[in-house]
Structure 1
Amino acid sequence: MFTWRTTTVVYEDSPYGARILAALFSVLQGYNIRVMDSIALPVGVTEDYLDKVLYNLKETPTRVFIVHMAPDLAARVFYQATVAGMMSDGYIWIATSSIGSTVESLSIDKVDHMQGVVTFRPYVQATGHIMNFTARLKSRFLLENPGIHNVHNPSTQLLWAYDTAWALAKAVHIARMSSSTPGRMLLGAVLNTTFDGLSGRFRLVNGQLELSTHEVINIVGKGARTVGFWTPESGILKSLETNSVKGLKQVLWPGHLAIAPKGWDVSSNRRPLRIVVPEKQGFNQFVEVTYSPTTNSSTIRGYCIDIFDMVMKNLPYPVAYQYVPVSDSSRNYDNLLSLVHEKVSADLVVDIRENISEL
């Protein structure tokens, strides 16, 4: 579906933020996607520090970012990313369900700085039960808060909280418990409680709410629109209908692009990587350096050159490089080390260090 091969993970520096990293990295590795860097942001990160992090990321070729953090911190990150020009053409931002599940309850100004973000949330079918609950909730809220006119629909977390309260009440009722009932008995009753709630089938597996289907959403305009679904059995689908096509519906990426960005960018100001090629006499099938008699320009070819070119071609993003023939290394490769103190080798060493930190 997408051909992105590198990404940078930006997460909240907390137990919540770090909890999914191992599983996330494992999944990405399974899809042959390399995590170029992982950036931990403190909950109380300063604006100056956040600016520094974002501008450093902007200088790297990777343009695919995965964000996992609480909504308040994420809103700050996306605001500063907008200021840094990183919510524009060419960038891809993917946020975890902490954003997808709360986007409809965020303020308009926060949503404005998340345009083009792709995120997801547990799928909750819009049943008549939910519509009735939403209408009653809004009516009561407006009655108790007459000065507020814009009331958001209940978030997934609110529906979970509502169902959890019902699960607790049902457990107490079924077990005929009293205030003196031991806590472990109450916990056991809750863990065994199953019913159809607002958010779907309420069932706890290993102490966690069992979630099967997720909704993939694209933040556009004042809210989000559904662009697909994910199920454990079928992966990503355009709809939940029978025989649905795999993939996503049209996504509008940052900058209102309808075509998925390539996921990388190489600055035109970056110097090319200089590759020293020793000129060897004799067996030239591996490396051969020839010169034009008219222009004195060099032509470098051979088996080693073909292999190197193929490796560079298959990097996650293109790297500019040029071959520099060195004629005084024919006797011993150790002579190349002496070039460390000379201009050609100095450029080579600097460029290698710069590019290795980016690859």
Structure 2
Amino acid sequence: MIPYGRQDIRPEDIEAVVETLQSDYLTQGPKIPEFEAAVAKAAGAPHCVAANSATSALHIACRALDLGPGDLMWTSPITFVASANVGHLCGADVDFVDIEPGTFNLSATALADKLAQAKKAGRLPKIIMPVHMCGQSADMDAIGSLAREFGISVIEDASHAIGGRFGNRPVGDCQHSDITVFSFHPVKIVTTAEGGAATTQDPRLAQRMELFRSHGVTRDETLYEGASHGPWYYQQVELGLNYRMTDLQAALGVAQMARLDEYVARRNALADRYDRLLGDLPLDRPERLDRAYSAFHLYVIRVDGARRRQVFDHLRANGIGANVHYIPVHTQPYWRRFGFDDGQFPVAENYYARAISIPLYPTMSEDDQDTVVRVLTEALA
């Protein structure tokens, strides 16, 4: 089976983890700030807060921006369910904005229309969460401009996109957002086995996210209510959770981050090759924006919707680990309970009816890629 994604673990990664296993720290040790510094540098942001998953990082990002009951959060319907779930876990109402047909990202045009309607209705969102689908940044110039115009906070769900760029700036620098979140799941660009991180320009938001990831407990006396009782003292000043990354995960992440540019370059080279090899087949390839440099977590093709299942089954039956990313969140049984139904976000639903993710990962050989193209050609014949 040629999988749709695969981690790349090298001897230096194993050595880094073993070295940490033999050290004095397994949980909250020196590797976490080292990893946070590496992510912050790659993202071009002054602050980074690591967490045990991207979902956790999205949750503490929402908490840091005071999302709560009575508030509204908007995100893309084409994403993993975590993007919407974290808003609901904060007690907020969640709604969606349809996508662009070529990039699969939240549409700035649809967002502008929906914001104008929401303003008239007196029900603007507190947070917008665009998702950088497949590793290509959404149009953050336009989304950021709209957010500033309407006084809305922005969290970039860049789970797919570390190492990517928008314009001449790295994804994660938060020039058009308050917080950006990355994922380090094994099939993502770099891995910490499981993990996430949030970057921000705002030291106050970084401090709040650090609190929320660790029970709301602090030893920082500047945050105390009242005086310290001694050097052993700590205070719980917020209601937080245990979302901490371990030093083992961070050690792996530090080793992996050293190869970030290599991984993204290889993914782009394979995507370029797919573009050439698939050019004559009856399918749509992903659209690339001139202003964006995608991290290419996924390579999603779109085929005739009436034949999608046939093509998918043929790929799987012949050892190609095709997948579908994603089922529109608003069509999930849980979210239908809140009144969502088919037909509300037609571009997203049309995308889903046609989408297939085909294998793409940095250690993929050209021979394996040729096999994918050959089997896909057979399926479409």
TM over 0.5: no
- TM tier, smaller: under 0.3
Higher normalized contact order (CA 8 Å, seq sep 6+, divided by chain length)? 2
What TM-score comes out, normalization by structure 1 length? 0.22
Structure 2-normalised TM-score?
A: 0.21
Question: Based on CA coordinates, which of the two structures has the bigger radius of gyration?
Answer: 1
**Between structures 1 and 2, the one with greater helix share:** 2
The structure with the greater share of residues assigned to strand is: 1
